[in-house]
A and B are shown apart, each in its own frame.
Chain A
Amino acid sequence: MSDNVLRLSDITMQFGGVVAVDNLSLEVNEGQIVALIGPNGAGKTTAFNCITGVYEPTNGQVSFYDKVIVSNYPHGKMKKLYKGSNADKYVHEKILNPTPDKITRKGIARTFQNIRLWKSMTVFENVLTAKHLHAKQNIFTSTFRISHAEERRMREETALLLEEQDLLRFRDELATSLPYGLQRRLEIARALATSPKLLLLDEPAAGMNPQETQELGEFIVQIREKYGVTILMIEHHMDLVMQFSDQIYVIDFGELISHGTPAVVQADQRVIDAYLGVVEEDA
């Protein structure tokens, strides 16, 4: 039995001549909280976008529960331009580039670095709308209220989810009128509404003070327990990362430079160099 949730194999993302993610391989196992860290511009969000179908990776595969969901190799114009390695490894695999909604349907949900809530909708509607994808209805039954039982179920589940996230008291407020920290939490709640098995959080603690960051960390652990989700997050707050993650992957200039438990990564000289810069000899 394998408890592997997500596996990236040799993912390379090249924009024109720029290699943003270079030959990245990583694994996330069931029930873990895994952090992806690295200096600004290291290619973390790009890696996320490759997993979620926003970008089509130039080379490599993404597997979810040991099933390949994204697969590509350099073809067409990229064939000549390609600068990364393993160019021939996936040539015989079928190209798979599902759109983001298909990935979400499979059970991977995400949040965004710059919060992307639906701004004309209330807190309640934001979460309710995220329930749309698994609803058992079609446009006809939904319009003519034939599937009203399904609608009621969606509403009840939404209310429950908001209750659990302590957001129910804001249910009829506009999502964008919430304070920043609550908007982040709402975005996580919205992602949870799609019933994911894997949750991707893109800088969930951005703009938070140490106190809030600590609370967020506890909150993340709590949702892992409660909803049985595995978590992969991009984060800059080292306290949060070191305290709450089981595994850490460090990337710099698109390349994986270190990975392991917090203790291992913390002691790794390459990580220190990446963050602080290499000390020049004559300096």
Chain B
Amino acid sequence: MSSIASVGTHSVDHHGEHGHHHESFWTKYVFSQDHKMIAKQFLITGIVMAVFAMILSILFRMQLAWPDKEFPILEVFLGKWAEGGRINPEFFLALVTIHGTIMVFFVLTAGLSGTFANLLIPYQLGARDMASPFMNMLSYWFFFGACVVMISSFFIESGPASAGWTVYPPLSAVPKAISGSGLGMTLWLISMVMFIVSQVLGGTNYISTVLNMRTKGMDLWKMPLTIWALFLTAIVGLLSFPVLVSAVVLLIFDRSMGTSFYLSELVVQGQILPNEGGSPILFQHLFWFLGHPEVYIVLMPALGLTSEVISTNSRKPIFGYHAMVYSLIGITVLSFIVWGHHMFVTGMNPFLGGVFMITTLIIAVPSAVKSFNYLATLWRGNIRFTPAMLFAIGMVSFFISGGLTGLYLGNSALDINLHDTYFVVAHFHLVMGSASIFGMLCGVYHWYPKMFGRMMNEKLGYLHFWLTFVGAYFVFFPMHFMGIDGVPRRYYAFTEFPFMEKWISVNVFITWSAIIAGLGQIAFIWNFFASMRYGKVATQNPWGANTLEWTTPVKHIHGNWPGEIPTVYRWPYDYSKPGHHEDFIPQTVPFSETMSSNLPHDFEGNVEAERIQREWERANAATQPESEKE
């Protein structure tokens, strides 16, 4: 016994030393190698980028709603990009491009995975830190650099990249094509390369930590679903981001050295370009081989976070834990063989289109399994409507309503009508945009006490939820109807086309909804930053959750646990287990302490344990008074 105690104290000393010796302001807050600090860095950078991209979207929404109106204030801020108080067409394209790029990559990839993989993987697995804390730090700083470069493109003469977030050549490959194809595009490419480096560094770390650094007793089937989701997300990222590197490298050669990978027989501004024989479709193949898995990189962490939050706040075990894991694995595998559904109308062989259609529609199966399991977990649960829980339920709602339209878009024949219309915009903003951001916000509300040691204000949380939830549906739902009517996305002025003019009234409605929902985010921003200082001090386990992160002290220490890392004995979803005096049993509680609630399948076929349990039950059935029996 004494030896165990001394091990404990030794580790405390050891980690205490670490804490005091080297930590200056720079190593603690800036070039930190501590996973908790890096998670906060990712989160705050992600929030800043999200606000930035949201403002961009409000700007182009204003143009869409009031194409003929002048807003002199815009000229004050944007100068020549809004001459006479109207956004000009080049800048409009830049706005949609950068809005998409920032939201998809910087907010929902880095901001979401970066924050929660860093925070939760070591915490929920019982590790002192990541496999390589140094790589982890590099990962953040590459991301930060990428953000700076991306935003800096707003401050150059020719403006930011404007070829859409998918940067298809030739717009992206011919620097003279439009003003955004010049330096702005170059900066976009530099930023993306830095971003990919960041993702690969981070991703390898996440995978390696999950596979190598789990605490004693934490086998793969005892991992919380958050970890499963973040783990599989990292695998998808590792396999797909390098492909984008190749695509981008070839694009850079085409842009600056005059090769002809993607370019072919073009005439730009009266001049014949020297490039011959290139294939722009090649870029689309390479891009979407990343691009499609990317949407699952965005979505899966949200699925993981909400699984955890819904189970905890329903006070019920997650319904179908294994099914949840297998459907995540299914989504992971399928995500690599569906990229062609973005290219149905590129002149693809119809047979190949049919293959991609089938693989795409099969994704509905694991997605439906997950939706069903979410609903079944909620069913007759003892639900606590915390703000995190509301956002989790909101995520399920968006996942279903946005996912359904995927069935239409995934159909290669229907896609001829629907592709590149507002129907697509509605679809992916619901299923990928809103669902993922709701997953992220759910995570922020739920793990805020773990990150900052204080609670967020619930009332502001509810206000934020309802404004965002209703706002998102008001913004994106009407777009389905515009899309069915054939209104194309990315168009600058609806007044130019008679058949689109009738949609302007809808655009006004959407823009007002967007503005109000946007203002609703102030409730969140205020809540987030003010609660760091004024929030109620958090208790160690404020939600009554089972996972390991809630066994760490409220005040952060280097190495997470004072003394030995706890051992894990059970799965993370023992909520409201019959026979137990509390409605949750943390993973660290051994079965020997919960004799009254153990079930035969808990012992996974351990005969000795089953025998002990039976003996205990026999002994207790004899002595227990009648009133305490179940």
Task: Answer whether A and B are interacting partners.
Answer: no
A residues with a Cβ closer than 8 A to B are none
Residue positions of B touching A, CB distance < 8 A? none
